[in-house]
Amino acid sequence: MDFNLTEEQIMIRDAARDFAQNELLPGVIERDEKQEFPTEQIKKMGELGFLGMMVDPNYGGSGLDTVSYVLAMEEISKIDASASVVMSVNNSLVCWGLETYGTEEQKQKYLVPLATGEIIGAFCLSEPEAGSDATSQKTTAIDKGDYYLVNGTKNWITNGNNASIYVVIAQTHTEKGHKGINALIIEKGMEGFVVGPKENKLGIRGSDTHSLMFTDVKVPKENRIGEDGFGFKFAMKTLAGGRIGIASQALGIASGAYELALKYSKERKAFGKEISKHQAIAFKLADMATQIEAARHLCIKAAWDKDQKKDYDLSGAMAKLYAAEMAMQVTIEAVQIHGGYGFVKEYHVERLMRDAKITQIYEGTSEIQKIVISRSILSD
């Protein structure tokens, strides 16, 4: 057992850290305030290979392992979770699904520009009445011979307005239940496809979250991913990897808040000494550091499982559950350590606390992770 990172992994982590500090930190408070999508920063992330990290270089990707992806996600998320969610969705939910299950034609047409960051993608599963219960798809894709006719609404879609292609999960054979669901690639601009208004969110406010409406959208048969009826299985397999991305996002949010709290505690004085020298604060920092380290190991273990071609449903769910709950707890404590300064925007920790909350909700709530974990441990 070797806990050392490879030279390449360290290089990727350091490159992500430098990018976050130099490119994402300037203006991060203003982007949050104005709900401004980090367009230029995402473009640069694409140029550096952060939007197709695990994609085969033959398709324009960086060809890196999942561990490197986790390390980069943590560093980006320390500074700007609105940028890291774009990175997570593009890598885990869109690129991975296309590379794993797409046809060669789909890969050449869509995966190459996605992996190079020329365009970004969106993953469309959630609906007004189908959140955690993903089998209750009301969006329909009726088979019309050489095309599908898509009708319905998707909501909470990350990259909703800025994406160029959308992987949409829809019901084709209602009588077959979840075995009648398909995954379709829908392009922005297809007739009948409308992007709804932007959501005004608590956190990750720089990210682009919209509802999407489909009215008699004609989608060519060649845009279906996998066999007829493969859509639900595709969504679940894709989300299993997505959980590793969001777990590492939660880890980054927490470690970013912890680093700020640690620094502040060594500078702020109360009762004649730095507050870090008061046991009440020192013990908070000890708990935070321990929880972050535990989450980091869970994230890297899930990534390692994926790289080793082992089953990562359980390890990914454990990483997502623990990292998300930990991030919420650690960011609250980071605000507390800052006292009144933690309550104002210029000290960053209040934003990280707001950003942490979504990690307990999207790509499978904490409650759903417990269902996945409990089913796994009770199945023997």
User: How many angstroms separate the CA atoms of 38 and 21, rounded?
Assistant: 14
Tokens of 200: 């005004």
**Tokens 């969106």 sit on residue:** 122
- Distance, CA of 70 to CA of 56 (rounded, Å): 17
Supply 96's token pair: 């991975």
Q: Does the active-site annotation cover 363?
A: yes
- Catalytic residue among 74, 99, 325, 363, which? 363
The token pair at 47 is 């140029």
CB 318 within 8 A of CB 377: no
- Residue 194 bridge partners (DSSP): 213
Can you tell me the distance from the alpha carbon of 246 to that of 277, in angstroms, rounded to the nearest whole number? 34
- Both tokens assigned to 27: 């203006």
Which of 219, 242, 229, 256 minimizes the C-alpha distance to 312? 242
Distance linking the first and last C-alpha atoms of the chain: 27
From 197, 204, 161, 157, select the one nearest 31 (Cα to Cα): 204
Q: How far apart are CA 21 and CA 313, in angstroms?
A: 33
> Which positions are annotated as active-site residues?
363
